[in-house]
Chains A and B, each alone.
Chain A
Amino acid sequence: MDFLRRYRRDKVGAYFGAILLLLYGVALTAQWITPADPMAINLNEVFAPPSWRHWLGADQFGRDILSRVILATQVTVKITSAACIFAVLTGVTIGMFAGYRGGWVESAAMRATDMLLIFPIIMLAIVVVVVAGPTETGVIIALGLAQAPQFIRIARGVTLSVKEELYVEAAIAAGAGRAHILAHHIWPNISTPIIVQATLTLPVLVLNASALSYLGLGVQPPTPEWGQMLNEAKDHLITAPHLIVGPAAALVVFVLSANLVGDAVQETLNPKLKKQK
């Protein structure tokens, strides 16, 4: 509650937080709020311009673009949330274990992490898709694994510093087990930086998810996704430029809100950073 009160002081963060909540609301209720069937082909309305019937027009198969954008919101939210959870779980598990265990396990894990951090996320994601396949699950695994190194780093860093604290050493001396120490002493310290990193990661995940699907390596048609819709729209740029408006706007607004919310969460949880901004 205290968090919410402090967060609300940041006007920009609160405003875009509301937009982001709205977008998540749209995603959760997508099935019920689409004005038309997003999959229904209607060859009489191919490339129909925006009108009262189709607010954002219709695509090359005469499908209602607004409905497809709404459904794509759900697809994106599903993929990115799952990928985020996946990245947090793998990253935190590996990072905590590496930091706690120390020794060669730690140095091997950190070397590998350092090496992965050299590569751009989209590259890592593409490579994982090669193995996991261009399906919803494949994309979730790809994006999650590509983001995991960041979480490994943070989790390991915090674990290392907490491990040195007296109360943890006392707990170890008192014979507490590894699982107990990780869960009761180390996890509470990790959660804040991980939450901050997770919110900062969200816009990156959205951008990369749609980039993958733009490349044809994401969710496959006919399931709509913003990137994939834009890829299809590109082929009809001369005849029907209005096809790009809906997915482009939705994508940019989503990423913008997620970015600003991420900044605001970071400032709320780490007020020290604010002075530098």
Chain B
Amino acid sequence: MTKLIVARLLFMGPAALLIVTFLFALFHLIPGDPAVMLAGDNAPRAVVDSIRQAYGFDQPLHVQYWRYVTKVLQGDLGISNYTRDPVIDSVFPRIVNTAQLAILSMLFAMTVSLLLGCISAMYWNRPLDKIVTVVSLLGICTPVFVSGLLAIYFFSIYLGWLPISGMSSWRHFILPVITLGALQAAMLTRMVRSCMVDALGKDYITTARAKGASEFLVVFKHALRNALLPIITLFGLGLGHTLGGSVVTETIFNWPGLGRLMVNSILTRDLPITQGAIFFFSMIFILVNLVVDLIYAWVDPRIRYD
């Protein structure tokens, strides 16, 4: 177990370096002069030159690279082309907003999918199971920007119950969280169901029934506890998907999160902000992946006690 933790933590270092390398490569991969790009298209020549010097774009590549890596390690991801504020300052509050949206959506999705998935597996191949299967299939096929628009139209415009966009009160959370959460719930329900159907077919389930355990105990203790192993991995992947989906959701609901910041920065060609957003998104994904692996190892006695 300790070996696993150490191995996974050691993986973080090279992964982060790889990402920083990619961010550096962006300067030169994107067509055009990076100094002009950073200064803005209409910047005076003097500004462009000063930026070229500050980043060392006139120096050989390895010098530039080294300079960039050390700057990033010191927490300096540059300054925004537009606001001229340090990237870190615009990115950090956005991370919190995205985390709120993603975590709440994921909690919603986990609750719904565990419940529906277990019920579906319990009533395997019976009408209730078929209803759940069809509804979750429809959910998977409906992207957030369709369900979100329908929800805004119905709840905010037609009924006038909920605000259209922003995040200034708890009422602003309802639509984005449920829209994003529902999509995840639909995907996860399918997978939870198949994990549970799989677990319910195992020999130890017959043993539990032969003991005289009630169906509730059989499903929610014996089967679920085993199905939890694959389900944890799924939930980890689900959190990744939720973060991916948050980019679109934030755009629909004008949510001041990291995803919308990233998209806007791409549209306005504000490269330092794009780099900052990619950097933090990547670190979040790697971290989530690490945590999922550790939880998995901790839950599985075959790994934990060996």
Q: Which residues of A contact B (CB under 8 A)?
A: 115, 118-123, 126-127, 129-131, 133, 203, 207, 210-211, 214-217, 227, 230-231, 233-234, 237-238, 241, 244, 248, 251-252, 255-256, 259-260, 276-277
Contacts and interface: CB of A to CB of B under 8 A. Distances in A.
A115 B15 contact: yes
Query: How many residues of B sit at the interface, in one of the four size bands?
Result: 35 or more
Given A203-B141, A215-B251, A234-B149, A120 B263 contact: no
A130 B274 contact: yes
B140 interface: yes
B248 A215 contact: yes
- Prevailing SS type, chain A contact patch: helix
Given A130-B274, A248-B150, A251-B143, A214 B247 contact: no
Nearest to A121: B244
Nearest to B152: A237
Interface in B244-273: 244-245, 247-248, 251-252, 262-263, 266-267
A215 B149 CA distance: 14
Given A127-B278, A131-B30, A237-B149, A122 B157 contact: no
B15 A216 contact: no
A242 to B, nearest CB: 10
26 contacts: A119-B244, A120-B241, A120-B243, A120-B285, A122-B244, A122-B245, A122-B247, A123-B244, A123-B247, A123-B285, A126-B247, A129-B266, A130-B30, A131-B26, A133-B31, A211-B144, A217-B267, A227-B145, A230-B145, A238-B157, A241-B157, A244-B149, A248-B146, A256-B141, A259-B141, A276-B194
Nearest to A233: B149
Chief secondary structure at chain B's binding surface = helix
A122 B248 contact: yes
Contact of A234 (B29, B252, B266): B252
B238 to A, nearest CB: 10
Contacts of A115: 15, 18
Interface in B4-21: 15, 18
Contacts of B289: 118
Interface in B22-39: 26, 29-31
